[in-house]
Amino acid sequence: MSTGTPSPSVFRPKDGIDQSVLEENRKLIEEIDRRKLLRGAVSLGALTMLTGCDVTDRGAVQAVLRAVSTFNDKVQELIFRPNHLAPTFSEAQVVKPPRFNAFYEITEVKPVDGATWKLELAGLIKDKRSWTAQQIYALPEQEWIIRHICVEGWDYIGQWSGVNFRHFLERIGADLTAKYVAFKCADDYTGSIDMATALHPQTILATKYARQPVTDPFGFPLRLRTATKLGFKNPKWITAIEVTNTYPGGYWENKGFNWHSGL
C-alpha cells in the first residue's frame, strides 16, 4: 500500500490538476485503493464525468470518494453472508419523487412508448419469447423500501415494486448457474450483474414507485432495483436481458468503475 503520496494506481494525475486536492483526500483514496473498489486505471477524467464538475472542485472530488468509501464500509460486513438482506425502511421515509440521475440531464430523457415497448430475451434462456408491458404487469409483485446510493455522493430511500428477479428468471427458464445477467436500455446504457445478485431476494424488475407506475425519468416501464449494489448497477428503461457466461461489462464498468460495486 502506498504511503505519503496519493495512490498512483487509483489516480493518474494529468498536467494542470491541482495535486493538493488529491493530497487532502489521500486517506480516502488509499482506503478505496486497498479495497479495490475502483479499478486501477480509473482516471480523473472518469471522475469529472461522474461529478459533472471540474475535478479541481474539492467538494466534488471529496463527495465521490466519500460515497465510494462509505458504501464499501456498509457492505463489508455483509459480504460473506449470501442472501443477507440489506436494510429496509418505513413508508414515511420514502422520498417522492425519486432522485433522478443518468449520464445526461433529465431534460434529455426520451420517453419510452409503453404500447410498443418489448422486453427481448437472449442467451442462456429456454423461453426467449419477448414480453409486452401488459404481460410484465400481470406477474406477481413484491415491494422493497431500500436505499439507493450513487457514487456521486448522494442517496435516497425509495419504494419499489415489481416481479422478483429470481422468480422471473425461473419463469423464463434461465440458466441459474450462468455467471452474468446483462441489460440493454432504451438510452444506449448497458449494465450487468453477477448471478448471485440477480438471485438475491431483494432484486426486482421494478414497474412501480410508491405504488404508482415508474414515471419516464426513472425507467418506465421497467428497470432493475437491487438493494446490494450501487446506483449505476440498476439499469433503467430496460429493453433486453441476456444470461451469459461471457463478461458483459457496462457503461460505467467500461470506464473503470469496479464491476462488483456492492455485495
Ligand X SMILES: Nc1nc2c(c(=O)[nH]1)N[C@H]1C(S)=C(S)[C@@H](COP(=O)(O)O)O[C@H]1N2
User: Of 28 and 193, which has the nearer Cβ to ligand X?
Assistant: 193
User: Of 157 and 163, which has the nearer Cβ to Mo ion?
Assistant: 157
Stretch that binds Mo ion, among 11-19, 155-163, 183-191, 223-231 (CB under 5 A): 223-231
User: Of 89 and 251, which has the nearer Cβ to Mo ion?
Assistant: 251
Is 232 a residue that touches Mo ion (CB under 5 A)?
A: yes
Is 71 a residue that touches ligand X (CB under 6 A)?
A: no
Binds 235: which of ligand X, Mo ion, none (CB < 5-8 Å by kind)? ligand X
In the complex, least distance from residue 26 CB atom to ligand X, rounded to whole angstroms: 26
Stretch that binds ligand X, among 51-59, 159-167, 174-182, 232-240 (CB under 6 A): 232-240
In the complex, least distance from residue 188 CB atom to ligand X, rounded to whole angstroms: 8
CA 72 distance to own-chain centroid: 14
The one among 236, 248, 261, 263 contacting ligand X by CB under 6 A: 236
> Residue 221: is the preceding peptide bond cis (ω within 30°)?
yes
State which of positions 184-213 bind ligand X (CB under 6 A).
185, 187, 189
| Burial class, 27, CB count within 10 angstroms (exposed 0-12 / middle 13-18 / buried 19+) | exposed
The one among 168, 232, 257, 259 contacting ligand X by CB under 6 A: 232
The one among 148, 200, 229, 255 contacting ligand X by CB under 6 A: 148
Is 191 a residue that touches Mo ion (CB under 5 A)?
A: no
Is 240 a residue that touches ligand X (CB under 6 A)?
A: no
Is 137 a residue that touches ligand X (CB under 6 A)?
A: no
CA 195 distance to own-chain centroid: 15
Residue type, 254: N
Residues in binding contact with ligand X, number by CB under 6 A: 18
Long-range own/partner contacts, residues 51-57 (CB < 8 A, 24 or more apart): 51/152, 52/152, 55/17, 55/21, 56/17, 56/18, 56/21
Stretch that binds ligand X, among 81-89, 125-133, 139-147, 226-234 (CB under 6 A): 226-234
How far are the Cα atoms of 58, 59, 230 from residue 153, in angstroms, in the given order?
13, 10, 11
d(CA 209, CA 158): 7
Is 253 a residue that touches ligand X (CB under 6 A)?
A: no
In the complex, least distance from residue 203 CB atom to ligand X, rounded to whole angstroms: 14
Residues at the site binding Mo ion, with contacts judged by CB under 5 A: 101, 150, 231-232
Binding residues for ligand X, per CB under 6 A? Answer: 98-103, 148, 150, 185, 187, 189, 218, 231-232, 234-237
